[in-house]
A and B are shown apart, each in its own frame.
Chain A
């Protein structure tokens, strides 16, 4: 491999990129847009659900209970009613998402260990439903501390305790993963079209007639994107810390090393696509075939542990799955990369295989 030729390809690539406004906008625009979208709009842990309260008991304990519910931040009471029927009306009209009904015999029910409170939920939204279920576990946990009258151990005594994200803010879970999602989307796409574009524009016939080798061309072309990937990582991390107070428990170096591993794996994958696709449009379609399973199966959106065995195997083949484990480990649990060696190894192996196949597949021939 000749470094002068390799640099020439890289410089050419950078110069072309500088004049390509859309690509330039994508480099920073996609991370910012995704971060804001995922961080604010797609909020799995709902907060501030509009609620109606019908406290028909109106005792000290019942008022304390309602206060505790409000204190979770999950509901914010908008209306108070005197009968559950009124709440059901408002629920149906969509004015509230949650209704809390404290029956008049609340105290008696508490002592008997019967159902003491009812939470009415708008079940048409599954996210709201699960939020309310969390809420329903709350009263029996906290009543003993309300200093009214101690209860015996009963239902709901087992609370969900969340380490590493005690407030259960989704942003904390989402932002580290988002680094991976953005890198998967942009890196594969950028390099996926890189080789095909030269073919479509007719530059390839010129290039293969020159002494530049497949390896020089491939490596030279993807080199600028490594830097771009690191810029994107920085943008997401900086905004994530600033807007969503996402903690970085582990070392920043490990975060960047993990990002680097994913960048290289994705660039190699993109090149592989590029040697296969016949047009830029085809390359984009193929990118989508990688992107969709990556988002759905990597553990970014749905828990990996809950997937069927076969799906887990497929997920293990995706670079994003391994990155997701590494970055959550490093950023949230404070793990170091050597502790996460199986995923480090998996990404390195993926890169080596994909890059080799891409270079071998690319022939300096027109036939």
Chain B
């Protein structure tokens, strides 16, 4: 594989087995530079395992990885100074202060003493820690810890940033701030690979990949992925939504029925006049309902990708 400047990460045929379990099953991945690339998937789908392999922390069972032009895991040591990695669990030292943590990381990443002081001052300002420099990391809130972890991960100005579910224990406002920081970084040319199980976060990414049970089931821009579902998403407004849901949930070609307020969002397998078939079914059940075409969203993409795979496996 030849490294090219437009690609930050390229993985081919990635496999990771833990004993008999295939945690990652032949995943191909291409992450363009200066993109915010989202990794979407339920817990246990292999997001963390994939990220760890891309960083060179886990050795793949099979497959080729090239990150920033380096072959991984062979050249993982050379890669470490060029990437930042934010672990899922807070991994900075809880018994060190904000400043001490940052100073430690700066030194470990080889920043000189004067550069360390400069950079730590800069990050303390940028990440709003000016009045908390002497606070022990362990005594901070979830959102503050995540902000500190991000500051630590970017202390050496990495070209590529791996973030493993950075906002899983963080309140909505902190999440929003956190994502603003990510876009600032991407704007400065940093490539970001971020895993999440929040749809709203995935929607903000330039590109996303959906992982399900160790397999890559979808890959593209959010618009591409939702666009591919045109006509398959239907909104049903019924007087008695619970009953309507029961009438629809077993129908052939219906992938999912989710209640949203008084309406139902229905995702169908094919786009062949889905609305008409739903209307017939509701009329058959003597339920009053209005059926209109819906706008597909990433949740639909997620459901369609994961359910679709389950179906294919059942058929096989």
Contact = CB atoms under 8 A, between A and B. Distances in A.
B90 to A, nearest CB: 7
A201 interface: yes
Given A209-B85, A367-B59, A12 B91 contact: no
B109 interface: yes
B92 A203 contact: yes
B52 interface: yes
Given A366-B57, A366-B58, A211 B92 contact: no
B93 A210 contact: no
Contact of A16 (B73, B93, B103): B93
B196 interface: no
A217 to B, nearest CB: 9
Given A201-B94, A202-B87, A5 B58 contact: no
Given A365-B59, A366-B58, A211 B110 contact: yes
Contacts of B105: 210
Contacts of B93: 12, 16, 201, 203
Contacts of A15: 95-96, 100
Contacts of A210: 80, 105, 108-109
Q: How large is the interface on A (under 10, 10 to 19, 20 to 34, 35 or more residues)?
A: 20 to 34
A170 B110 CA distance: 54
A205 B58 CA distance: 11
A295 B55 CA distance: 46
Nearest to B85: A209
Interface in B46-77: 52, 55, 57-59, 73, 76-77
Given A210-B108, A211-B81, A205 B95 contact: no
A8 B108 contact: yes
Given A12-B96, A19-B95, A209-B57, A202 B89 contact: yes
Nearest to A18: B95
A5 B91 contact: no
Interface in B175-189: none
A160 interface: no
A4 interface: yes
Contacts of A206: 85, 87, 91-92, 152
Majority DSSP secondary structure for residues of A touching B: helix
Nearest to B93: A203
A202 B85 CA distance: 13
Q: How large is the interface on B (under 10, 10 to 19, 20 to 34, 35 or more residues)?
A: 20 to 34
Contacts of B100: 12, 15
A211 B57 contact: no
A197 B145 CA distance: 20
A81 B93 CA distance: 72
B193 to A, nearest CB: 14
Interface in A175-196: none
A2 B110 contact: yes
Given A12-B100, A209-B80, A203 B91 contact: yes
Contacts of B239: none
Nearest to B136: A19
Contacts of A366: 52, 57-58
Nearest to A210: B108
A125 interface: no
Interface-centre pick from A4, A203, A209 (highest chain B CB count, 10 A) = A209
A5 B110 contact: yes
Contacts of B52: 366
B110 A4 contact: yes
Interface in A193-240: 201-206, 208-212
Contacts of A205: 57, 87, 89, 91
B104 interface: yes
A364 B80 CA distance: 11
Interface of B: 52, 55, 57-59, 73, 76-77, 80-81, 83, 85, 87, 89-96, 100, 103-105, 107-110, 136, 152
Sorted nearest first, the 9 A-B pairs with minimum C-beta distance are A8-B107, A206-B91, A209-B85, A211-B80, A202-B89, A202-B91, A210-B108, A205-B87, A12-B104
19 contacts: A2-B110, A4-B107, A4-B110, A5-B107, A8-B104, A9-B108, A15-B95, A202-B87, A202-B89, A205-B89, A206-B87, A206-B91, A206-B92, A209-B85, A209-B87, A211-B108, A212-B108, A365-B59, A366-B58
Given A203-B93, A209-B57, 4 more contacts: A9-B108, A12-B100, A212-B108, A367-B59
